[in-house]
Structure 1
Amino acid sequence: MHRRRPSQALAAPGPAWVIRLYEAADEVTWAARLNLLWVVFTLLGGVLLGVGPATVAAYTLARRHARGESVQAFPAFLDVYRRQFVRGTALLFPVLGVSVFLVADYLYFASLGPAAVVPRLVTLVALAAVAVVVAYLLPMVVHYDLRAAAYLPKASLFALTRPASSVLLLFVLLAVVYVTATYPFLALVVSVGGWIQLDTWLCQRFFAENEARLRAERIS
């Protein structure tokens, strides 16, 4: 029987680590590119009108990237941004409104000190719930072809019926927020693009698992 020499056995893992390192660097570069496009196109729309279509465009490209498609980032982003300008704004405005309202309430209750601990905690739980629903909502918008009014109920139901997945998404989001709060410059460099890509990658797997389960139930 032919046996490898010790030097060969030790050298074998080398190329694999190099490949993994290259892939990790490539993912970080992609997230930074996505982040830059999101920032630029959000600003081009005057922030309020730009954040919706820019977010939908970023999630669209993130889905294509997660599926292994080759993407020319700028022209693809611009195309989706133009096509989804009205729809993206309409989808994000209610979410932004609710989020701003809850954040304002949380800061108000926090300013009241110990006397407002209960309403502050209730507001924090509501913020977490909104964050999880939105974490499902945006990947759904670019994955499923539904009526606009159907996305929010579907995302809310998905969040309620998959508690483990919801906790994982919330944990990843909190990790991104914590790192960004520690190093604020990352918000302009990679944080948004990194979260969008991670959120999309995870939700693609959650959706695939759910669809497989539904098919199995129909067959049985």
Structure 2
Amino acid sequence: MYHFVANGIYRFCEWVTRLAYLNLLWGVFTLCGLIVFGIGPSTVAMYSVSRQWLLGNTDIRIFSSFLAVFKQEFRKANLLGFILLGLAAIFYVDFKIIASMNEQTSMMAIILLSLLLVFTVLLLFVFPVYVHYDIPLVSTFKYAFLIGFTKPFHTLCLVAGGFGAVFVSLLHITVIIFFSGSLFAVVTTAVALKAFQSISSQTAKQEARQ
């Protein structure tokens, strides 16, 4: 019993250390890219390391793995980041315009909220898809969209997990500093991998029937 508890505490502390270190790398590399040119590659690198952990490769060298992905995916990940930031900016401006209009805008608001829902689903899946599949960027968006809306259960779990990670991160400033990004990445990647495994299983069954 003692060894079981001690082993559990050790594993917990090990994961806390990993998450804190990964979050630190994410923040430092984002700042090194002057935020605008660093947020995309550093986020992709963070998700890549998270994926490796969840696939059982917990002994990887975190810094080396993070740096390798950051450098290799720098251009493509920046393009991904610019597209997402651009879409987010468009939504922000549109909501500001609607809020400032005096006439009836309920239909416009409904349409915009519907598009925002699609964007949110896309945003939750796009980074896990990016690091899991070796496909062009256009296909990354396509896969993220299709998986998000053909796997509603996993999407709901992803939303719940994402909100849960954000809630935990907001409990204290220390959690925000050391765990906000990495905790969110690990939680959402874990759910996304379940969706990917479900798709692979369905594909294998279909191929077996042919």
TM-score, reference length from structure 1: 0.83
**CA 1:91/1:33 → structure 2, altered by over 3 Å: closer, same or farther?**
same
> Would you say how many aligned residue pairs link Structure 1 and Structure 2?
208
1:188, CA displacement in angstroms?
2.1
Question: Where do 1:8-157 residues align within 5 Å?
Answer: 12=1, 14-69=2-57, 70-106=59-95, 109=98, 119-120=108-109, 122-157=111-146
**CA 1:167/1:41 → structure 2, altered by over 3 Å: closer, same or farther?**
same
1:140, CA displacement in angstroms?
1.3
Contact 1:128–1:170 (CA under 8 A) maintained in structure 2? no
Q: Which deviations, in whole Å up to 9, do the C-alpha atoms of 1:161-216 show, x marking residues without a partner?
A: 01111111111222233344454553321011101111112212211121011100
Q: Which deviations, in whole Å up to 9, do the C-alpha atoms of 1:99-157 show, x marking residues without a partner?
A: 232234345556779x6566555544433332221222111111111122211111101
Partner of 2:164: 175
Using the alignment, how far apart are the partners of 1:131 and 1:50 within structure 2? Answer: 21
Using the alignment, how far apart are the partners of 1:104 and 1:188 within structure 2? Answer: 29
Using the alignment, how far apart are the partners of 1:116 and 1:182 within structure 2? Answer: 36
- Report SS of the residue matched to 1:192: helix
- Report SS of the residue matched to 1:190: helix
**CA 1:16/1:124 → structure 2, altered by over 3 Å: closer, same or farther?**
farther
| Structure 2 letter corresponding to 1:57 | A
* Percentage of matched positions with identical amino acids: 26
Using the alignment, how far apart are the partners of 1:138 and 1:29 within structure 2? Answer: 23
Using the alignment, how far apart are the partners of 1:106 and 1:33 within structure 2? Answer: 37
RMSD: 2.5
**CA 1:104/1:185 → structure 2, altered by over 3 Å: closer, same or farther?**
farther
**Runs of 4+ in structure 1 over 4 Å off:** 107-113, 115-122
Larger Cα-atom Rg: 1
Consecutive unaligned residues of structure 2, counting only runs of 5 or more, are: none
